[in-house]
Amino acid sequence: MAQTYGYARVSCADQNADRQLVALRDFGVQEGNVLLDKISGKNFERPAYRRLLKKLKPGDTLVIKSIDRLGRDYGEILEQWRVITRERQAAVVVIDIPLLDTRRKERDLTGTFIADLVLQILSYVAQTEREFIRQRQAEGIAAAKARGVKFGRPPKERPTAFDEVRKAWERREISAREAGRRLQIDCMTFLAWVEH
């Protein structure tokens, strides 16, 4: 008997997937057939998605809220679409885009062409948006650095005993570990301070 599965994805563990889960439930996907990943969509190495692919049988249907929940990489979205619809012979429904519904048996060549074209355009847009986000982020960081904004934690103050301990270390009287213990810092921090 054919099954209907739902797939939802959020980029990190603290994001909320409720909007997607509600849409899948409203579509009629049973709760036990919904798989959720809390991981970036930059590739398809996702545990729940991998389980889903193993479950999909010919005649099954995969439902997703929007194409970007499937992934963000243009080529990989197209490849996974091919794997699902051709290799697994399952249907795909994208709730937000009714044109991307491969369940329709009456689809003619024109309908298939339009669906494939829409998929390619949307996959391209998803990847382009990802690249724009990365570019805007890099530009924002560069602008902030140009204004003198410092990123990361402020550097730790060197204890007054640092010069004395460093000299003992340079004379090989103590190890870096012992130097760190005496200064109440990690030995790697001590070595980094010695280098700079």
Catalytic site positions: 11
Please state, in angstroms and rounded to a whole number, the distance separating the CA atoms of residues 12 and 62: 22
Please state, in angstroms and rounded to a whole number, the distance separating the CA atoms of residues 66 and 52: 17
For residue 49 the two structure tokens come to: 């998605």
DSSP assignment of 26-58, as one string? Answer: HHT--GGGEEEEES-SSSS--HHHHHHHHH--T
Using an 8 Å Cβ cutoff, are 50 and 67 in contact? no
Using an 8 Å Cβ cutoff, are 64 and 36 in contact? no
Contacts within 8 Å (CB) and 24+ apart, 148-157: 156/185, 156/189
